[in-house]
Amino acid sequence: MKNSDRRLTAETPMSSAVSAIRATIDPLHWESEFFNLSSGKLNFSSSAPVLTPAALTRYALTQAKISANNLALADALANIGFRLVEGEVDLCLSVDDAPAATVSLRQRLAERADIPQLRQAAAQVFSLNRFRAPWYQPTDSGRFYARWIENAVLGAFDDLCLLIEDDNGQPQGWVTIRQSGEREARIGLLGVFPGITGRGVGSHLMALAETWCRQQGIQRLRVATQVGNVAALRLYLRRGARIESTAYWLYR
C-alpha cells in the first residue's frame, strides 16, 4: 500500500466558473534532476497573474493539485491541456481514539543493512502512483520509491522506517513516519513485502505506527493514499481514521 507523496499545495477555492486561471509555477528542482525532466507545479492564488501558454512552455511537465470539489477549475485546466492523473484521499487518525491493538510480530527499526532489500521491495510494491507513463519513464516509479525508502532509513525526508518480521526474522512489511508538528506525524510509505498475503501485516503496521506515536506523545497521525487503493482505504478507516480532504492531480 502506498501513500501518496506529501508535497505542499495551495488550496484552490471552489467556484461555479473559472474564466481565467491565476497561478504561478514553482520549479520542482529535486524532481527535475531525479527524473531528468524539467518540472514545475502550479501555485494557485487570487493575487497571481493569469496563467499563460508561454509560462507553461517553460517546463516539460507541469503539475497541478486541486481540491476534488473544484470541478470548475478542473475543467479550466483541461481546456489548456491538463489531464487527470489520479485522485488522492488524505486521512487523519486520532491516536488516542484508535482501537487498542497488539503487534504480535517482531518489530525493529530499519538499519543501513536493510536498505538493499527494502529498495527492491519498494520498487515492486508501489504500482499505483502518479509517476507513470506517459508522463514518466517505465522505471521512474520504482526508482522513486526505492530512493524514498532508502532516505527514510537514513532519516532524510521521513524520520524513520519501522520493520516487522516473522519468528524466523524474515521481514514482512514496513512503515515510514515523519513527525510534522509537535503532536502530529504522517505516514510516508506503508508496504508489505512481495509474496506476503493473508497475514494481517497491514493492520500490524498501522498498530506499530500508532504505538510509536503514543510513545512520542503524538495525537494525530495523517496518511494519504490514492482513490483507487481500496485496500489501503479500508485499512485506515478500519483503524478509525477519518477522511479530511480529497484532491486531484493533473499534468500537462
C-alpha radius of gyration, the chain, whole number: 19
229 marked as part of a ligand binding site? yes
Judge whether 131 and 141 are in contact, CB under 8 Å. yes
Judge whether 177 and 162 are in contact, CB under 8 Å. yes
Catalytic member of 136, 145, 236, 251: 236
Burial of 3 (0-12, 13-18, 19+ CB in 10 A): buried
How far apart, in Å, are the Cα atoms of 20 and each of 44, 46, 208, 243, 251? 11, 10, 47, 30, 18
> Is residue 236 among the annotated active site residues?
yes
Q: Which residues are known catalytic residues? A: 236
Query: Annotated binding site: which residue ranges?
Result: 229
Query: Annotated binding site for acetyl-CoA: which residue ranges?
Result: 229
